[in-house]
Structure 1
């Protein structure tokens, strides 16, 4: 389980230190702890999260491994998708955003709206496929990796990501996160890696 890329209070006031502490220290850690119990003495022992996700997606008898590996990976990606300091998309990513969404503001508004519309638990994503950008949502532990898409950034819409602070105001949480905390440096690096 990788360390947080910033202090627990670094995302305040948008995401409280208490929320980060519970989210990272209990929920995120729980997925790694579960994997540590599920994979020893199996063909999955020692495999990367990405390999586990690909090998177990859609296989009913390995659903628990998939759910925990995907949630562990999704959370690793989520913490990297947030930045306590303002960032901007690279020139290349910005050009793709303008081409596919009109502007960064239009993209973040769409990301917030699509993520808010996820029924129940899940994730909102900016992804790339065949050189085009798209905003999608996935339910529960599902992840773009399982569908051949390249994730650039994500926002978490499981209740544990916001409930301590925002209660049932998921759209408000998403509006603040997408407007103030998106790590465009991380998204730009992912976009450049895909384009290389």
Structure 2
């Protein structure tokens, strides 16, 4: 079955002023749609490939476009209209298991954001910054992936796209301003749901 572009769970302008409508439309309709189209084409070509050499040649396209589809599908749910603008629950980290885990691992929410932004801003080129749950250590950790590589070593809790297409039209080349702003629209309710699922699965 072909992959399809998922609908956004909010209007394109819902994350303003922190992420503009123009960026959201281009990011979703153009960039994510391209990953979906290219992934479908690569999978069709792989199914028709008649030799191992042909299949190996398609691995890069499958990884890149498959990762782009996986990462962006998670990213859209990772965001919500800002509570500070009276629109939604974005940016609101409520008392609960995720807030407790962040305080235990990083000392405070502010220290967590500072470390996350510093780590993510240091990515050379394009990539993603992640807060993930490590099934081996059973703690949340900050990590990064290059290009569109999906997070495989951890269970994704929060993912932030730091490709230029995610911020350049609004923040130009000042990646740090984008990283500071995006916490106003992070959907911590969704993040906590992922965290609880990850912890529950690790106990099985």
> What TM-score, normalized to structure 1?
0.86
Do structure 1's residue 165 and structure 2's residue 162 form an aligned pair? no
Where does the alignment leave 5 or more consecutive residues of structure 1 unmatched? Answer: 45-58
Q: Which residue of 1 aligns with 2:142?
A: 135
How far is 1:127 from its partner?
Answer: 0.5
In the TM superposition, what are the counterparts of 1:1-196 in structure 2 within 5 Å? Answer: 1-40=5-44, 42-43=46-47, 61-84=58-81, 85-86=88-89, 87-89=92-94, 91-129=96-134, 130-145=137-152, 147=153, 149-178=154-183, 180-196=184-200
CA distance, structure 1, for counterparts of residue 57 and residue 95 of structure 2: 41
How far is 1:41 from its partner?
Answer: 5.9
CA distance, structure 2, for counterparts of residue 109 and residue 73 of structure 1: 26
Distance 1:29 1:13, change over 3 A: same
Instruction: Point out the structure with max Rg over C-alpha.
Output: 2
Where does the alignment leave 5 or more consecutive residues of structure 2 unmatched? Answer: 49-55, 82-87
The answer to whether the 8 A contact 1:89-1:188 is kept is no
> What TM-score, normalized to structure 2?
0.83
Cα RMSD of the aligned pairs, angstroms, is 1.6
Q: Secondary structure at the match of 2:46?
A: coil
The answer to whether the 8 A contact 1:89-1:187 is kept is no
Between the two proteins, the alignment pairs up a number of residues equal to: 179
The answer to whether the 8 A contact 2:23-2:166 is kept is yes
CA distance, structure 2, for counterparts of residue 9 and residue 107 of structure 1: 28
Distance 1:25 1:195, change over 3 A: same
The answer to whether the 8 A contact 1:100-1:132 is kept is yes
Please list the CA deviations of residues 56-112 of structure 1 after superposition, one character each: whole Å capped at 9, or x if unmatched: xxx664111110000110011111111112332451111111110011121122212
CA distance, structure 2, for counterparts of residue 82 and residue 71 of structure 1: 17
The answer to whether the 8 A contact 2:42-2:58 is kept is no
CA distance, structure 2, for counterparts of residue 12 and residue 5 of structure 1: 15
